[in-house]
Amino acid sequence: MHKIKGPAIFLAQFIGEEAPFNDLTSLCKWAADLGYKGIQLPTDPRLIDLAKAAQSQTYCDGINDTIKRAGLEITELSTHLQGQLVAVHPAYDKMFDGFAPEHVRNNPQARTSWAIEQLIFAAKASERLGLTTHATFSGALLWHTFYPWPQRPPGLVDLGFEELAKRWLPILDAFEQSGVDVCYELHPGEDLHDGASFERFLEAVDNHPRANILYDPSHFVLQQLDYLAFIDIYHDRIKAFHVKDAEFIPSGRSGVYGGYQSWQDRPGRFRSLGDGQINFNAIFSKLTQYGYQGWAVLEWECCIKHPEDGAKEGADFIKQHIINPTDKAFDDFASVESNDNLNKQILGL
């Protein structure tokens, strides 16, 4: 067993125009002062030039120095927005164009090419930064058909995953060359949103060793999926971990689809750590039991509590849940030496 690393914090939701949230140095000091040991770094141009990081070891050394001076280290780079743009159904073109730079907007083919290039940059940048895991989304070509009405025509899902795999295989190969695992956050809105869809993708990419999972139980609560059994099934592929709470409160008015309501009014809501329903004692126990070697990273997305309060409380919450694995069995005091003759006698042989 291994001790889970942490606490760490995903910076994406905290970037802003005012200090200390407007540059990497200030953000690192803020996170360290709260008690965090690591940061998951979004590849936002305000914090990192991804193309430059892929090309320059000197530039990456400078980023690491900035972060280390605050007493932190990078857990993973994140390309959630770029990963989303690897595969976008035309129905979502206008809504997702805002994730892309202006020069590829209103041009889906150019946008996809840009996103794939970004992921390949992220592979090399991760290698230069000394990282072994990377956080992202898969994108989606099939999401608009997730509820089968009208009926999906035969072969549609196979073709969708075949195309998704075609786009991701060169990226996965680039991460293989850099020795970095791609960790897909399984998330509604992505074609990879649960265990079954992840398995289908794995089959399409021939069980690529770099295709792995960012485990975030909050998305499973909102889908009413057993988030503890998920660890039992997929622990070999879980290489990253978002510590994010959620709740699902059944309603007579709306269910898992939310009724087009705001986050505060939906039955399923993201909450700050400790304010939701997730059994983190069991999650940390299972991940420790199965030898998870990565970080526990806070992702704040609460619809009620202020983000700075959520971040402050989250550091202590994660610290309290990290388990120091035992190095001996509880009944070692009663153990006896191995003796083949004794064992045969006990068995009546």
pLDDT at 334 over 80: no
- Looking at residue 288, its pLDDT comes to 98
Place of tokens 């009724």: 259
- Looking at residue 342, its pLDDT comes to 87
With CA atoms as reference, report the closest residue to 302 among 312, 292, 316, 289.
Answer: 312
- Looking at residue 316, its pLDDT comes to 98
Instruction: Delimit the domains of the chain by residue range.
Output: 5-346
- Mean pLDDT over 236-244 rounds to 98
pLDDT at 339 over 90: no
- Mean pLDDT over 100-125 rounds to 98
The band of 330, judged by pLDDT with boundaries at 50, 70 and 90, is: confident
pLDDT at 238 over 90: yes
CA 125 vs CA 23, 243, 249: distances in Å: 19, 25, 42
- Mean pLDDT over 297-320 rounds to 98
Q: Under a CB-based contact definition with an 8 Å cutoff, are residues 213 and 237 in contact?
A: yes
CA 163 vs CA 41, 100, 104, 109: distances in Å: 29, 21, 21, 14
* Distance, C-alpha 212 to centroid of its chain: 10
Beta-carbon contacts of 251 under 8 Å, excluding residues fewer than 6 positions away, are 267
Where does residue 342 rank: exposed (0-12), middle (13-18), buried (19+ CB within 10 A)? exposed
- Mean pLDDT over 133-144 rounds to 98
At residue 256, what are phi and psi to the nearest 5 degrees? -65, -20
3-class DSSP state of 268: strand
- Rounded Cα distance between 314 and 7, Å, is 8
- Looking at residue 337, its pLDDT comes to 81
The band of 165, judged by pLDDT with boundaries at 50, 70 and 90, is: very high
Predicted confidence (pLDDT) per residue in 10-41, tens digit: 999 999 999 999 999 999 999 999 999 999 99
- Rounded Cα distance between 178 and 127, Å, is 5
CA 239 vs CA 101, 134, 268: distances in Å: 30, 9, 26
- Mean pLDDT over 201-214 rounds to 98
The band of 244, judged by pLDDT with boundaries at 50, 70 and 90, is: very high
- Rounded Cα distance between 30 and 169, Å, is 38
The band of 278, judged by pLDDT with boundaries at 50, 70 and 90, is: very high
Read off the DSSP letter of residue 105.
T
Predicted confidence (pLDDT) per residue in 48-88, tens digit: 999 999 999 999 999 999 999 999 999 999 999 999 999 99
Q: What is the mean pLDDT of the chain?
A: 97
CATH class of 5-346: alpha beta
pLDDT at 329 over 90: no
At residue 268, what are phi and psi to the nearest 5 degrees? -100, 125
List helix spans (H) across the chain.
Answer: 24-33, 50-55, 57-69, 80-84, 93-96, 108-128, 156-178, 195-204, 217-223, 227-234, 280-289, 307-321, 340-346
- Rounded Cα distance between 278 and 282, Å, is 9
